[in-house]
Amino acid sequence: MKQAERAPDFTLPDESGTPRRLTELLTAGPVVLFFYPAAMTAGCTTESCHFRDLSAEFAALGAQPVGVSPDPVDTQRRFSEAHDLGFPLLSDPDGAIASEFGVRRGFGPLRTKRHTFVIGTDRTVLAVIRSELRMSVHADKALDVLRSHRQA
């Protein structure tokens, strides 16, 4: 999935087991869809908590972060509760959605790459943020993209 492409619509269960559809999430504003390899790990906790810490800034821009990992619903729930995340964490256990977005690895213990997609309300990908090691860059760059898009 590249910038300016149209994101595929999909439905995945969130941390409470409630099905969430991308097009429904987009009715409230842009979605910052961030894929992470594994809940409860140091890097993914740092990244997710950074999104949480910037939640007021995302809300001010009418956007919301939404996390996606291959973890099962109950693990997503524990992860969300442990860190009071306050945004949806979607469960993609077979990696089907990660594959559609081009962030699925073919091998290794961490099957999902750490990528973030800033998606406009019309499902256009406004930006793709890639960094496996710099956890805070995802939320920071997503905010920059949303701010510049809002001014345009």
Q: Which candidate in 25, 32, 44, 54 is catalytic?
A: 44
User: If you search the block for the tokens 């594994």, which residue do you land on?
Assistant: 38
Side chain identity at residue 28, one-letter code: A
Tell me the C-alpha to C-alpha distance, in Å, between residue 78 and each of 15, 67, 89: 8, 14, 11
Residue 44 designated active-site: yes
| Of residues 26, 36, 93, the one with CA closest to residue 63 | 26
* SS3 call for 146: helix
Helices in 55-113 by DSSP H: which ranges?
55-60, 73-83, 96-100
Show which residues are catalytic: 44
